[in-house]
Amino acid sequence: MRFCAPVQIYTYVRARETVDALEQDVPLTPRHSAGIVGVWEAEDVGRAGIEWYYTGRQSLEGNPYRAVSEP
């Protein structure tokens, strides 16, 4: 049995735009996101993998119920 090294990803984005002289976050762009992917391999048997992703809060556009999403 062989284990392939996990891949880890983290992204930080601060996207801003100016609308009517007011600077604000760009809607639907999360500030934080992360992911981990791991794979196990057994020769002549097959492979199995697992993935985990996280998407942080992001400002919403045109939603009458809330202005920010839940992570």
Sole residue written with tokens 């556009």: 61
Q: Give me the residue spans of the domains in the chain.
A: 2-55
Per residue in 46-66, pLDDT (tens digit) is 989 999 999 999 989 888 899
The per-residue pLDDT for 1 is: 67
Sign of CA dihedral 22, 11, 66, 28: positive
Sole residue written with tokens 């100016």: 18
> The pTM is what?
0.71
Rounded average pLDDT over 2-24: 90
The per-residue pLDDT for 45 is: 87
The per-residue pLDDT for 57 is: 92
Rounded average pLDDT over 16-39: 93
The per-residue pLDDT for 23 is: 93
